């Protein structure tokens, strides 16, 4: 099917979840490129993305984090996905950067810090939002 479409997102997450279960729930996974593909399929419409991700991940326990690339996903989509991860799915949101200058990297770090502060006191964040660079 079309890369990033609704069905391929479900299939990809199911395959990852099956792998998690096959490893006796030891090896967890994170969603990275899947989120980028889905954002492209949904034309950045966060409501549509959430309507696909929430049912796909609601009962899954193997997903440990969303890997968010604001330079690709956009600031608003990245922040909304971080909120979804924490508030609805109880997983981490990791902001990362690829090929950004110091200025781009500082903005990514800022977004990670701001998203940490957006977690309400009723939600226990088990992981802060790290910024990963290579």
For the ranges 49-58, 92-101, 113-122, 125-134, the lowest mean pLDDT is seen at 125-134
> For residues 127 and 34, what is the distance between their CA atoms, to the nearest angstrom?
21
> What mean pLDDT do residues 5-34 have?
92
Percent of the chain with pLDDT over 70: 69
For the ranges 9-18, 28-37, 91-100, the lowest mean pLDDT is seen at 91-100
Residue among 78, 94, 84 nearest 39 (CA): 78
Is the pLDDT at 36 greater than 50? The verdict is yes
Strands (E), 9-56: 29-31
Please state, rounded to an integer, the average pLDDT across all residues of the chain.
Answer: 81
> For residues 5 and 114, what is the distance between their CA atoms, to the nearest angstrom?
30
Distances in Å between the Cα of 5 and the Cα atoms of 35, 39, 133 are 11, 9, 28
The confidence band for 80, taking pLDDT boundaries of 50, 70 and 90, is: very high
> What mean pLDDT do residues 71-82 have?
92
pLDDT on residue 5:
66
> What mean pLDDT do residues 87-113 have?
75
Q: What is the pTM of this model?
A: 0.76
């Amino acid at each position: 099917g079309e890369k990033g479409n609704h069905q391929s997102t479900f299939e990809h997450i199911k395959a990852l979840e099956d792998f998690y279960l096959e490893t006796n729930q030891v090896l967890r996974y994170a969603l990275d490129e899947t989120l980028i593909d889905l954002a492209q399929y949904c034309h950045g419409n966060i409501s549509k993305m959430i309507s696909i991700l929430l049912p796909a991940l609601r009962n899954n326990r193997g997903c440990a984090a969303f890997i968010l690339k604001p330079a690709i996903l956009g600031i608003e989509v990245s922040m909304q996905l971080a909120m979804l991860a924490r508030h609805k799915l109880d997983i981490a949101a990791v902001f990362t950067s690829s090929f950004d200058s110091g200025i781009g990297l500082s903005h990514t770090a800022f977004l990670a810090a701001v998203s940490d502060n957006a977690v309400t006191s009723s939600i226990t964040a088990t992981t802060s939002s790290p910024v990963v660079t290579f």
